[in-house]
Amino acid sequence: MRSFLTKRAYASLISLLFLIVAVFFLSRLTGDPTNLYLPVDASLDSRERFRALHGLDDPLILQFGRYLADLAVLDFGDSIRRSQPALDVVLEAFKWTLALAAITMTIVTITAIVIGSLAAFRVGGLFDRTATFFSLIGASAPDFWIAIVAIVLFSVNLGWLPTSGTGTVWHWIMPIGVLFIRPFGLILQVVRGAMITALGSAYVKTARAKGVASRPIIFVHALRNAMLPVITVIGDQAAAILNGAVVVETIFGFPGVGKLMIDSILQRDFAVVLATIMVTAFAIFVMNLLIDLAYAVLDPRIRY
């Protein structure tokens, strides 16, 4: 187990390093922040001072070296825009995204597993066909479109829900609702497929011969076996939200990492862009570890 963890950590560290290199240099291609933060008629002198202040006057490779050196002591640099440590800015936004992802994925997981399992129990029945129909629509619907339609319908026309912000419970309903749809459709399909396999397996036949009732056959015997592929997809989908549900957060003005990332790219706030990437990368690393742990908990044949 420990060697597995170490190996994982090293592999992740190496990919993270590649990512930092790519993002560091690519983001510089968007232009000089000086042009954005100082007025068009700012003097050459004040431009020089701004550059010196933010370390933008050194050769790029030197800036990169300095960044890595700071990073080694967990200094992620400062946000130009907000004049505070980039990490603080990102963690503040991450808190919101984490809450959004956790709530959404909990609801998605429970509903998709229950509905998918029941659909698999009577393949081709009315319940199965209805569930499959809606999950396929859900899995293929573009979220930006749903988000806008939802705003038009529930906020503008009906006036039931606020369009943006996080102030009350009501503010959360639409972002969660929109983020729910696609993972729900995908996970339901995977649950259904895996459950059809599990319910057709020999050990389910044994359970029936023992006299086990239908509900424990579905939720005790078959489900735990069917969970392995499902967990992988749950992890993927959760990671996608953690990674920044960019479109949905932007449309609903939700102050999460997705919105922060877009804003800081537009604002050429390089330190924040990089910090966002590292924080989400770490979150996904932890996420994957949790998935691997869940594998081992669910299936005694898997040991690391």
Partner 1 sequence: MADHLLEVQDLSVTFHTVRGPVNAVRNVSWHLDRGEVLAILGESGSGKSVSASAVMDLIDIPPGEIASGRILFEGRDLLTMSHDERRRINGKRIAMIFQDPLSHLNPVYSVGWQIEETMVIHGTSRADAQRETVALLRKVGIPDPEGAAVKYPHQFSGGQRQRLMIAMALALRPDVLIADEPTTALDVTVQAQILGLLEQLQAETGMGLLIITHDLGVVAEMADRVVVMNAGEIVETGSATDVYRNPQHPYTQKLIAAAPGQGDMSHGVPEQEPLLRLTGVKKNYGAFTALNGISFDLMAGETLAVVGESGSGKSTMAKVLLQLEEASGGQAEYKGRDLLTLSPKELFEMRRDIQMVFQDPTQSLNPRMSVYQLISEAWVIHRDILPKDRWKARVAELLEQVGLLAEHMHRYPHQFSGGQRQRIAIARALALEPRIIVCDEAVSALDVSIQAQVIELLDKLRHELGLSYIFIAHDLPVVRDFADRVIVMQAGEIVEQGSVRQIFEAPRMRYTQDLLAASLDPDPEVQAARRNSRLEIAQ
| Encoded tokens for 283 | 């979150």
Q: Which stretch binds partner 1 (CB under 8 A): 10-18, 24-32, 236-244, 292-300?
A: 292-300
**Residue 296 touches partner 1, criterion: CB under 8 A:** no
| Encoded tokens for 227 | 């969970």
Cβ closer to partner 1: 161 or 212? 212
- The contact pattern for partner 1, residues 146-185, with x = CB under 8 A and - = no contact, is ----------------------------------------
Cβ closer to partner 1: 204 or 240? 204
The DSSP result for the chain, as a single string, is: -HHHHHHHHHHHHHHHHHHHHHHHHHHHTT--HHHHHS-TT--HHHHHHHHHHTT-SS-HHHHHHHHHHHHHTT---B-TTTSSBHHHHHHHHHHHHHHHHHHHHHHHHHHHHHHHHHHHHTTTSHHHHHHHHHHHHHHHS-HHHHHHHHIIIIIIIS--S-SS-SSSHHHHHHHHHHHHHHHHHHHHHHHHHHHHHHHTSHHHHHHHHHT--HHHIIIIIIHHHHHHHHHHHHHHHHHHHHTT-HHHHHHTT--SHHHHHHHHHHTT-HHHHHHHHHHHHHHHHHHHHHHHHHHHHH-TT---
CB of 119 to partner 1, least distance (A): 17
Cβ closer to partner 1: 227 or 283? 227
Q: Which stretch binds partner 1 (CB under 8 A): 35-43, 127-135, 172-180, 197-205?
A: 197-205
Indicate the length of the chain as a whole number.
Answer: 304
| 29, 44, 61, 209: residue in contact with partner 1 (rule CB under 8 A) | 209
Residue 165 falls in which region: left (phi positive, over 0), alpha (psi -120 to 50) or beta: left
Cβ closer to partner 1: 19 or 212? 212
Q: Which stretch binds partner 1 (CB under 8 A): 41-49, 75-83, 129-137, 203-211?
A: 203-211
Footprint of partner 1 on 65-124 (CB under 8 A):
none
| 206, 215, 266, 304: residue in contact with partner 1 (rule CB under 8 A) | 206
**Residue 212 touches partner 1, criterion: CB under 8 A:** yes
Cβ closer to partner 1: 11 or 220? 220
Cα–Cα dist 246/100, whole Å = 13
Q: Which stretch binds partner 1 (CB under 8 A): 63-71, 110-118, 200-208, 274-282?
A: 200-208
**Residue 203 touches partner 1, criterion: CB under 8 A:** yes
Cβ closer to partner 1: 113 or 279? 113
Q: Which of 116, 159, 147, 153 is nearest to 134 (CA)?
A: 116
**Residue 299 touches partner 1, criterion: CB under 8 A:** yes
**Residue 202 touches partner 1, criterion: CB under 8 A:** yes
**Residue 293 touches partner 1, criterion: CB under 8 A:** no
Q: Which of 49, 40, 86, 48 is nearest to 67 (CA)?
A: 86
Cβ closer to partner 1: 2 or 301? 301
Q: Which stretch binds partner 1 (CB under 8 A): 1-9, 31-39, 133-141, 221-229?
A: 221-229
Q: Which of 246, 259, 275 is nearest to 88 (CA)?
A: 275
Catalog residues that contact partner 1 under the rule CB under 8 A. Answer: 201-203, 205-213, 216, 221, 224-225, 298-301
